[in-house]
């Protein structure tokens, strides 16, 4: 059973600050925090970066600070999440981020316009048809050599406390969570036209760096 995408979006509109708890509960270690790791692995020459389903900017803001010459385009379907993002942005000196209310399955953005696209902690809560639409759009807007940086939850291998914490997270996620998280994402991404070039283990999560198949 999957929760309709519209219902999930309404929940984000109603409770836009709930995802903040993730930062405190799961990403406290700076060395293994996926947001911080992204700032270290994105190519320094990346000029145009797209954050798909950017939420309240937890990934985008540190990247914008680390890459002041890059332009970050951030899209999300939820006005509530974008409102929180906008308020946070107003408290910074960052001028290289633009926010757009947009559906990730129908990006109103030109073909081949981005060096890097991020999709962070989103796909596990969506239906297969939504994921297909989003990945197809990500592929379309990336340059031939552009890369997709997919951050997703990853169950801890060691430590009963970490495993219990992850189980509690899973209990609070939509029913699509285990099917997506516990699969081998390499063949999955290949079926969606991406080649996984590198996987980086982070706290409770991993980042897959994916190139476009055949550099189309
Ligand atoms: C769990 S939050 C993750 C936010 C952010 N990427 C992060 O890592 O913190 C999921 C976000 O995806 C957005 N979202 C879900 N489906 C979407 C869609 N089809 N189009 C655009 N945004 C979507 C939600 O509004 C929400 O802000």
Give the pLDDT of residue 13.
72
Pairing status of strand 48-52 against strand 194-202:
unpaired
Q: 16-67 pLDDT, tens per residue?
A: 666 778 888 999 999 999 999 999 999 999 999 999 999 999 999 999 999 9
> Torsion-angle region of residue 12: left (phi > 0), alpha (psi -120 to 50) or beta?
alpha
Ligand 1 atom 25 nearest Cα: 78
* Cβ–Cβ under 8 Å, residues 140 and 196: no
Give the pLDDT of residue 101.
97
Q: Which of 10, 20, 53 to mutate to test the pocket of ligand 1 (most atoms within 8 A of CB)?
A: 53
Tokens matching residue 171: 């209990």
Give the pLDDT of residue 20.
74
Give the pLDDT of residue 195.
97
* Cβ–Cβ under 8 Å, residues 72 and 7: no
Q: Is the CB of 67 under 6 A from ligand 1?
A: no
Q: Is the CB of 135 under 6 A from ligand 1?
A: no
Q: Is the CB of 104 under 6 A from ligand 1?
A: yes
Ligand 1 atom 10 nearest Cα: 122
With a cut of 70, which residues of the chain have pLDDT below it? 1-9, 14-18, 214-216
- List the domain boundaries for the chain: 5-215
Give the pLDDT of residue 22.
86
Identify the CATH number of the domain defined by range 5-215: 3.40.50.150
Q: Is the dihedral of CA 161, 31, 91, 85 positive or negative?
A: negative
Q: Is the CB of 61 under 6 A from ligand 1?
A: no
* Cβ–Cβ under 8 Å, residues 119 and 138: yes
Q: Is the dihedral of CA 58, 63, 33, 54 positive or negative?
A: positive
* Cβ–Cβ under 8 Å, residues 42 and 5: no
């Amino acid at each position: 059973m999957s929760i309709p995408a519209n219902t999930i979006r309404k929940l984000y509109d109603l409770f836009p600050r709930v995802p903040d708890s993730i930062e405190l509960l799961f990403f406290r270690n700076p060395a293994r925090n996926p947001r911080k790791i992204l700032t270290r692995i994105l190519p320094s020459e990346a000029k145009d970066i797209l954050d798909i389903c950017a939420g309240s900017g937890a990934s985008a803001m540190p990247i914008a600070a680390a890459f002041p010459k890059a332009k970050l385009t951030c899209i999300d379907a939820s006005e509530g999440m974008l409102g929180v993002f906008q308020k946070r942005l107003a408290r910074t000196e960052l001028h290289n981020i633009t926010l757009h209310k947009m559906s990730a399955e129908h990006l109103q953005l030109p073909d081949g316009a981005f060096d890097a696209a991020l999709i962070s902690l989103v796909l596990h809560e969506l239906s297969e048809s939504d994921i297909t639409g989003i990945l197809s759009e990500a592929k379309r807007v990336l340059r031939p050599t552009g890369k997709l940086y997919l951050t997703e939850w990853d169950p801890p291998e060691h430590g009963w406390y970490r495993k219990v914490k992850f189980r509690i997270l899973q209990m609070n996620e939509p029913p699509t969570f285990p099917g997506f998280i516990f699969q081998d994402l390499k063949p999955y991404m290949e079926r969606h036209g991406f080649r996984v070039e590198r996987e980086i283990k982070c706290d409770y999560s991993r980042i897959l760096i994916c190139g476009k198949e055949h550099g189309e």
